């Protein structure tokens, strides 16, 4: 999968050596924003790069996470999922079908923290039923 010149420049600007494998993994994450696991990424990448290994997928993901271009999404004890949406957002986990969706984080009103705390990062996870599963369970 060929990345746009802007995305390729973004990778290089973040200190990522642009390899075909990294380009493929990042392109897959950008193409379908469904928060895939490493195994799901591996199966998708195999279609375009039959010789790619699962270890290579993990190495690519590690480099993308370290560079700040991809976020890890952890839901309970399930396999880690990966998200290329770097805008401020939270995640909604459907307890029925297992999908993970991006949701806007309302930040109009700040957190009420005791004095002296400095927040460097906040992660909010929501759980429940997605619209499709909510209709099914009526």
Q: What is the CATH number of the domain that holds 46?
A: 1.10.10.10
Each residue's pLDDT tens digit, 21-46:
988 999 999 998 899 999 999 999 99
Domain check: are 70 and 41 in the same one?
yes
Which residue range(s) make up the domain with 25? Answer: 5-83
Domain check: are 24 and 72 in the same one?
yes
> Domain boundary at 38, 53, 83, which?
83
Q: How much is the pLDDT for 11?
A: 75
**Chain mean position to CA 84:** 5
**pTM for this structure?**
0.79
Angle between the N-to-C axes of helices 20-31 and 54-66, in degrees from 0 to 180, rounded to the nearest 10: 70
Domain check: are 129 and 107 in the same one?
yes
Query: Which residues, 6+ apart, have CB-to-CB distance to 78 below 8 Å?
Result: 98
| Rounded Cα gap, residues 80 and 23, in angstroms | 20
Is pLDDT larger for residue 7 or for residue 78? 78
């Amino acid at each position: 999968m060929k990345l746009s010149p802007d995305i390729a420049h973004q990778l290089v600007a973040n200190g990522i050596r642009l390899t075909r494998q990294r380009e493929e993994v990042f392109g897959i994450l950008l193409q379908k924003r469904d928060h895939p696991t490493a195994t799901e990424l591996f199966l998708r990448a195999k279609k375009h790069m039959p010789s790619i290994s699962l270890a290579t997928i993990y190495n690519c993901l590690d480099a993308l996470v370290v560079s700040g271009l991809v976020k890890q999404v952890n839901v309970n004890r399930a396999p880690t999922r990966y998200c290329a949406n770097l805008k401020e957002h939270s995640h909604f986990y459907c307890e029925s079908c297992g999908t993970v969706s991006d949701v806007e984080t309302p930040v109009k009103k700040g957190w009420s923290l005791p004095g002296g705390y400095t927040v460097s990062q906040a992660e909010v996870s929501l759980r429940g039923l997605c619209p499709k599963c909510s209709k099914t369970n009526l």
